A = this chain, B = another copy of it.
Amino acid sequence: MRYQDELFRQREELLLDTALALFRECGWEKVTVSQLAARAGVAKGTVYKHFASKEAIYASLALRFSRSCLEQYESMPHRPSPLESIREVIRAAFARMLSHPLEVQLCLHCDRPEFQSRLDESQRGAFQALDEQYNALFHRLVEAAVAAGEIPPKSPESLYWGVDAVFQGVMARIAAGGLGLERHATPSLEIYSEHVVEFITAGLLGRFPDPGPEASP
């Protein structure tokens, strides 16, 4: 490996770390590419050697974060109860997100079609691959719980939709730093997420007893 290639790789890591630090200080929308270049000790044009756009920096940070989360979840030990394994993965995910609100904000920002359409192919492809990996992980977990009789037989697909929706919502709340707008007695985000875990679990278990066409009180 040539000196230049190694320098390029290291500088790219430095730029991402520097961006993260600056974003934490000032908010990612407010940080300019010039500020990032100055902080990292390079010229502004050099930043564009590494990243096609400011948005590509956001994407790189989101991808980096998502990858490390997935690694964590995939290496978690299995419990005797597959449903408990699911709950633990969900808890771990919430805990991870709670300690990285900035990254959560970036992930949400990137997870929109207009944004994705502005990325180059390789980054877009990376998001897709990650998405598929998350999906596969969820399927594995749910299928194990169904096979163990802990969850009623139901397509992992439709369960995923419910869980996905909750995750999106929790991410938005974590990204916002709370339940927003002082709307009501605000719990700590930890308590909030534990309640949501319970909500998800119930959602996965489904209604019991199974309702008739017109359930009556």
Contacts and interface: CB of A to CB of B under 8 A. Distances in A.
Contact of A169 (B112, B114, B167, B205): B167
Chain A interface main SS type: helix
A21 to B, nearest CB: 18
B112 A176 contact: yes
Q: Please state the number of chain copies in the assembly.
A: 2
B183 A132 contact: yes
Contacts of A114: 27, 29
21 contacts: A29-B114, A84-B215, A111-B176, A112-B175, A149-B217, A159-B199, A161-B196, A162-B166, A162-B199, A164-B173, A165-B165, A165-B168, A166-B166, A166-B169, A169-B169, A169-B172, A172-B172, A202-B206, A202-B207, A205-B207, A205-B208
Interface of A: 27, 29, 80-81, 83-84, 108, 111-114, 116, 127-128, 131-132, 135, 148-150, 157-170, 172-173, 175-177, 179-185, 187, 192, 195-196, 198-208, 215-217
